[in-house]
Structure 1
Amino acid sequence: MSSVEVPLSQSSNPNDTFDVHQPKPSATFSPSIWGDHFLSYASLEVDAELEQHVQELKEEVRSMLTTSPENVSQKWNLIDDIQHLGVSYHFGNEIEEILQKIHKSSYDLDDLYTAALLFRLLRQQGYNVSCDLFNKFKDGDGNFKESLVDDVALTFTMTNLESATFRLSPPLAKAVTHALNQPLRKGLPRVEARYHLSVYQELRESPNETLLTFAKLDFNRLQRVHQKELSEITRWWKDLDVPNKLPFARDRLVEVYFCWSMSVYFQPQYSFARRTSCKVTAVASIIDDLYEYDTDEQLKLFTEAIERWDVSAMDQLPEYMKVCYKALLDVYNEIHEKLLHDGKLYRIHHAREAMKKQVRAHFDEAKLFHQKHIPSLDEYMPLSLVTSGYPLLITTSFVGMEEATINSFDWLSTFPQAVKAASKICRLMDDIVDHKFEQEKEQFISAVNCYMKKYGVTEEEAIIELKRQVHNAWKDINEACLHPTAVPMPLLIRILNFARLMDVVYKCEDGYTNAKGVLKDLIVSTLVEPVAL
């Protein structure tokens, strides 16, 4: 979520309070760029003939995976291609079985490319493979041998990769540049799949046409599922009439769906989870803007209403708050009905408590900000990790997942290291990019100026240190994904995807708030334009 500063009032006297019956001044957020575009997908229907063709291709690819090749490394390359092209979710059991057997066996690899590939495949599957695997490629001083400098698989050293681009073919140089800019581990699955579908044939001497055709058809098939979901959610959002009834808030429903729904889980079986997460996140975004924009007096009313969690609490709220509050209750009632039907009501308790904790933190943070001084880093960070929205959104993401048990939610309630790390990545990356654009505002507060105040360093020094903390937080997430894991791997992948989203959308700007920036092209490529066949 953004920490964009919004004026407290239009009055020339900053101590004036709002009339609770009057609408608030509009913030300066740009309007949505999507209009009614996604409503046009409401009538999409399943093409039975296409479905059959996709299933036939899928079984052909499955057969390739389960058939023993002449060279075992061919199987590893096939797994790599399947993952890059975005269809590994179809073959989870097969891939797991293959990699598990590899992990249990001994292997002596003679070339760096194969060693690096196997290392990555096993590590990203959760197997704690030792880096000693690469010792045979080092000289007596512990450096990689000079003979490997021209080997494009030397992904461990950014310097050599950057220099290697000048000696590579244009397609391969382009792929290396892409990998340097967006490491695979930190990339969003749908975005990376879309990219690799476009370059696969250029990068493979003998491309697997069956796999490529299957991956293209599957991407488009899944895109239609996402389009129809977004069409339904867009209708709900339009009924709320956010631009007119809540003009202080960002109108960013499509961006919400892309960032914190589809990018968190794109697979077909998570449709309810996506729709749930999208609606909760959209309302949470409104609340985020509300707490940055209103007075302590009015925010106290809203905070108390959230604590009561009862429709009668609306009576004490001004009209614009009633719209937000009712939308919140309606969304959670919808979730309640689904969980009641499925016999999983324990989840709604955790979902509500996460929202209450979020709102309490917003209120405490607002009071801190309205003191008109930069708080200490120790005051700011505990609150800002919660107001980043990630503890709430991660909890919400679990609500719609079959893999989540009572123990999974109990684990979440302890604010475990993985969740804390994802929240830190969110908060620090958001604050760093916002600080660059908002620091001229008198009351703007971020981790950057809090760190500068505590340690007496320059802005540049503060940002370098905070980026180092982001780097270390990634290590915590990666460690949490190694076996044995505290909760099932599908749940940890959700947390990983929340962190990935920040690396893709917030690396250079607040891509959520700046609707015409990097996010626009990503949405077009994944949710608008199908892959050419």
Structure 2
Amino acid sequence: MISSLNPLFTTHRSGVIAQQFFASSAAASINSVSSLKIAACSKTKLVDQSPLRQSGNHQLLSSDFNHLQSLKNDYAEEKYISRCEVLKEQAKMMLDQEMEVVNQLELIDDLQRLGLSYHFGDEITSVLSGIYNRKSMNKMRNQWGLYATCLEFRLLRQHGFDVSQEIFDCFKDEKGDFRPSLCEDSKGMLYLYEASYLESENEESNLEMARRFAAKTLKKNLDEKRVDQDLVALVQHALELPLHWRMMRLEARWFIDIYEERSNRNPILLELAKLDFNIVQAAHQNDLTYTLRQEWWRSTCLAEKLTFARDMMVENFFWTVGIISDPQRGNGRRILTKVVALITAIDDIYDCYGTLDELEVFTTAVERWDVNSIDQLPDCMKICFLALYNFVNEMAYDALKEQGVNIIPYLRKSWADLCKAYLQEAKWFFSGEVPTLQQYLNNAWISISAPAFLVHAYFCVDYPINKDHLQYLDNYHKIIRCSAMILRLTNDLGTSPESEVLNVGDVPKSIRCYMKETGACEEKAREHLRFLITEAWKQMEEAQTLDSPFSSTFNGIAVNLARMGLCMYQHGDGHGHQNSEPRDRILSLLFEPICCLA
């Protein structure tokens, strides 16, 4: 459990989290869409001696295997890849050009938001290092306006440079408040708001003050129509969810359209962004069709035998795209898609199928990693255990063969911890007990499955395996715990009020735990969860920049997993019950290329 989240009921200033953050999650009404398949069931009652079996009411994107396996994307062709390489060289030349510091920062910001920065990692680091190390920077900062100062602060902090929040002191009056005259600068306010989310744990309240001030000002300026027209969409977008919390691939798709409408757009960057998006999409489609053609999911028979479970390989794959979008990481996406599929199936066994006795047997079998422990289980649970057993052993076999490291103990522990957390939730459900919020969260950051996912992700991306890292992996380093906590809390905020408050067919979650313990109303409970999310982000920022032993790649994966939580649960339960918003996001990222003239 994240230690600094322990004083859960301490009076606090909630600050300003994105104005529309999860505003629609309470509604969570599901529209009937023709392309959705619905597996709607109801909780069954105990009849005679039959065990209680629940069901899931899952609404999912249709997984038409035959159609998906026949996908063909023209942007995988050599002519597009060659054109992309030419444009990349031209963009690289821009980064190498001498220009004003503010123009350099704007170029880097555009490259990041357009989804292109992964091509220019070394060049971007070099430019930012030069800016950071320049001896005259302190003098230059005093000459800059709010916009440029905020842009510099955000980009430098994002890339791990130690920049003090005192950089904003020159914009305050003698009382320590931000000067009222700044309110007229909507662009500066927007960039102050975005910069304020690069806040670390144990910092003074400057950035929180900046966030409240900027959010209040931006909302007021929007209401009074005092925001320049070319900024309105950006301001609304930021207030809905800040840039630093957004899933980067989805943000790139959105920003390409915004950038195209800008009067100062660079035609080279625009063409490159569109072309690169489509080429990467083709790579993602190839990974998806490979996963389906491999017949792994069908060969497990989980969809056939676990009729109560979610059969959703496209949705499972979508998670991996949000977490590892780099086209060169296809093997990692393929492996992690299997991990998400197994997590989903096992989650449904604990939530929707197993009796308490059966779940205890299943948990023990995973802890012992013993196929002889499953004899008393129903066939579907035996098959699920064996699918997990075979997958983990195969992954460990490849690691031992290729790198000489036995990773079975680490994979086993992650699954055992997950199943024990699932079992605890099942015990609460069957007993009717509602735990305290602290008791719930002590278990729930594991039951959200983030630690298990990230352990597997580490072995997919860190090559060769660094044995010095394994103890931090085994103990779930702070960056893993923070990512897991954010995913858990966003998941709980995305739960519909009908299911959450009335406890229909689900374990009690954080909203209900807090309401029962404190007597708070639902909105106050949601406000408290938003506060905890902000605190966990601060801790993750510090863990990423100061004390994480892992590679920047793995740190980025942990952060991206938290971002995916915000993406998937921003408008309700985007994983288990898809309404049109998450469905449209999946279609736009995986199946709909951007129109290009080239």
- Give the TM-score of the pair, scaled to structure 1: 0.91
CA-to-partner distance for each residue in 1:199-244, whole Å, 9 max, x for gaps? 10223x3211112211211111111111111112234334445443
Would you say the 8 A contact 2:411–2:456 is kept in 1?
A: yes
Whole-Å separation in 1 of the counterparts to 2:579 and 2:290: 23
Is it true that 1:234 corresponds to 2:292 in the alignment? Answer: yes
Whole-Å separation in 2 of the counterparts to 1:202 and 1:388: 40
Offset, 1:425? 1.6
Question: Aligned in 2, Cα 1:146/1:458: closer, same or farther, shift over 3 Å?
Answer: closer
| Partner in structure 1 of residue 240 of structure 2 | 181
Give secondary structure in 2 for the equivalent of 1:370. Answer: helix
Question: Aligned in 2, Cα 1:55/1:312: closer, same or farther, shift over 3 Å?
Answer: farther
| Partner in structure 2 of residue 410 of structure 1 | 471
Would you say the 8 A contact 1:435–1:448 is kept in 2?
A: no
| Partner in structure 1 of residue 80 of structure 2 | 50
| Partner in structure 1 of residue 502 of structure 2 | 440
Is it true that 1:161 corresponds to 2:218 in the alignment? Answer: yes
Question: Aligned in 2, Cα 1:401/1:322: closer, same or farther, shift over 3 Å?
Answer: same
Give secondary structure in 2 for the equivalent of 1:213. Answer: helix
CA-to-partner distance for each residue in 1:86-115, whole Å, 9 max, x for gaps? 011111111111112222224123211111
| Partner in structure 2 of residue 360 of structure 1 | 420
Would you say the 8 A contact 1:65–1:94 is kept in 2?
A: yes
Further displaced range: 76-85 or 295-304: 295-304
Whole-Å separation in 2 of the counterparts to 1:322 and 1:379: 31
| Partner in structure 2 of residue 302 of structure 1 | 362
Offset, 1:322? 2.6
Further displaced range: 513-522 or 217-226: 513-522
| Partner in structure 2 of residue 104 of structure 1 | 133
| Partner in structure 1 of residue 535 of structure 2 | 472
Is it true that 1:139 corresponds to 2:198 in the alignment? Answer: no
Is it true that 1:283 corresponds to 2:342 in the alignment? Answer: yes
**CA-based RMSD:** 2.4
Is it true that 1:208 corresponds to 2:266 in the alignment? Answer: yes
Give secondary structure in 2 for the equivalent of 1:244. Answer: helix
Whole-Å separation in 2 of the counterparts to 1:226 and 1:344: 30
Whole-Å separation in 2 of the counterparts to 1:435 and 1:373: 20
Question: Aligned in 2, Cα 1:303/1:146: closer, same or farther, shift over 3 Å?
Answer: closer
Offset, 1:461? 2.5
Would you say the 8 A contact 1:82–1:88 is kept in 2?
A: yes
| Partner in structure 2 of residue 63 of structure 1 | 93
Would you say the 8 A contact 1:418–1:477 is kept in 2?
A: yes
Would you say the 8 A contact 2:498–2:504 is kept in 1?
A: no
Whole-Å separation in 2 of the counterparts to 1:10 and 1:88: 55
Offset, 1:288? 0.7
Further displaced range: 307-316 or 178-187: 307-316
Offset, 1:442? 5.0
Would you say the 8 A contact 1:351–1:399 is kept in 2?
A: no
Q: Percent identity?
A: 31
Is it true that 1:332 corresponds to 2:392 in the alignment? Answer: yes
The residue correspondences of 1:387-406 to structure 2 (distance < 5 A) are: 387-402=447-462, 405-406=466-467
| Partner in structure 2 of residue 492 of structure 1 | 555
CA-to-partner distance for each residue in 1:238-264, whole Å, 9 max, x for gaps? 4445443212112222112112x1111
| Structure 2: runs of 5 or more not aligned | 1-39, 194-213
Whole-Å separation in 2 of the counterparts to 1:64 and 1:45: 25
Question: Aligned in 2, Cα 1:461/1:149: closer, same or farther, shift over 3 Å?
Answer: closer
Whole-Å separation in 2 of the counterparts to 1:484 and 1:376: 31
Offset, 1:195? 0.7
Would you say the 8 A contact 2:42–2:55 is kept in 1?
A: no
Q: Output the amino acid matched with 1:158.
A: A
Q: Hey, which bits of structure 1, 4+ residues long, moved more than 6 A? A: 5-8, 42-45
Question: Aligned in 2, Cα 1:31/1:473: closer, same or farther, shift over 3 Å?
Answer: closer
Offset, 1:35? 2.2
Would you say the 8 A contact 1:361–1:387 is kept in 2?
A: yes
Is it true that 1:426 corresponds to 2:456 in the alignment? Answer: no
Whole-Å separation in 2 of the counterparts to 1:304 and 1:414: 21
Whole-Å separation in 2 of the counterparts to 1:209 and 1:240: 48
Offset, 1:314? 5.0
Q: Output the amino acid matched with 1:61.
A: A
Q: Output the amino acid matched with 1:245.
A: K
| Partner in structure 1 of residue 197 of structure 2 | none
Give secondary structure in 2 for the equivalent of 1:154. Answer: helix
CA-to-partner distance for each residue in 1:124-151, whole Å, 9 max, x for gaps? 1112211221222222233333332221
Give secondary structure in 2 for the equivalent of 1:30. Answer: strand
Further displaced range: 332-341 or 36-45: 36-45
Whole-Å separation in 2 of the counterparts to 1:31 and 1:53: 37
Q: Output the amino acid matched with 2:115.
A: G
Would you say the 8 A contact 2:396–2:406 is kept in 1?
A: no
| Partner in structure 1 of residue 436 of structure 2 | 376
CA-to-partner distance for each residue in 1:147-169, whole Å, 9 max, x for gaps? 32221121331122223342334
Whole-Å separation in 2 of the counterparts to 1:111 and 1:377: 44
Offset, 1:8? 6.6
CA-to-partner distance for each residue in 1:493-517, whole Å, 9 max, x for gaps? 1111111111122123111111234
CA-to-partner distance for each residue in 1:449-477, whole Å, 9 max, x for gaps? 22223333333322222221111111111
**What is the aligned counterpart of 2:512 among 445, 449, 468?**
449
Whole-Å separation in 1 of the counterparts to 2:369 and 2:42: 28
**What is the aligned counterpart of 2:107 among 66, 69, 78?**
78
| Partner in structure 2 of residue 503 of structure 1 | 566
Would you say the 8 A contact 1:249–1:286 is kept in 2?
A: yes
Would you say the 8 A contact 1:128–1:483 is kept in 2?
A: no
Whole-Å separation in 2 of the counterparts to 1:269 and 1:300: 41
Offset, 1:120? 0.6
Question: Aligned in 2, Cα 1:43/1:77: closer, same or farther, shift over 3 Å?
Answer: closer
Count of aligned positions: 520
**What is the aligned counterpart of 1:461 among 517, 524, 527?**
524
Further displaced range: 361-370 or 233-242: 233-242
Whole-Å separation in 1 of the counterparts to 2:475 and 2:94: 43
| Partner in structure 2 of residue 524 of structure 1 | 587
| Structure 1: runs of 5 or more not aligned | none
**What is the aligned counterpart of 1:114 among 143, 148, 151?**
148
- Give the TM-score of the pair, scaled to structure 2: 0.81
